[in-house]
Structure formats: structure tokens, C-alpha cells
Amino acid sequence: MIRKKQKHKGPIVIDLTGPDGNAYALMAYAKRFATQLGWKDKGKALINEMMEDDYEHLLEVFDNAFGEFVILER
């Protein structure tokens, strides 16, 4: 089905079971969001913190930073 573009309303949803849920994709999202939000370091410190431990830690750091407008689904 082809339809006209519609404005996205509500939070961004990331499916952790798909390709967007891998660690590298989540770090790319973090960098993009940090840049869009005007962070001076463009998310470098956040990404370094995300890489300090395992995948669950990465998710926790991401959620703490962007949980207001991003929903992570398992």
C-alpha cells in the first residue's frame, strides 16, 4: 500500500529485537539525538558511557538520556 506522508505523532519507538536494536545502531541514534538537541560534544561523553559495560548498561544509559521521547521495545 502506498500512502501520503503523515506527521509522526508521539514518541519515537525503537524495536530492540530488530536491526535498530543493536549496540551500534543505538549509539548512532544517541549521536543523532544529541546533535539535534544541541549538545556541545554531540553525544561523545554519552556514547563513551554507553560503552563502559554490557548491553543492558548501554540500554540503561540510552534510556536515561532519551527516555522522555524514545520508547525502547523488547
Measure CA 15 to chain center: 10
Q: How far apart are CA 68 and CA 44, in angstroms?
A: 20
Q: Check residue 7 and give its pLDDT.
A: 80
Q: Check residue 46 and give its pLDDT.
A: 98
Q: Check residue 4 and give its pLDDT.
A: 87
Q: Check residue 27 and give its pLDDT.
A: 98
pTM score of the predicted model:
0.88
Ranges under pLDDT 50 in the chain: none
Backbone angles phi, psi at 7, to 5 degrees: -70, 135
Cell numbers given for 56: 543492558
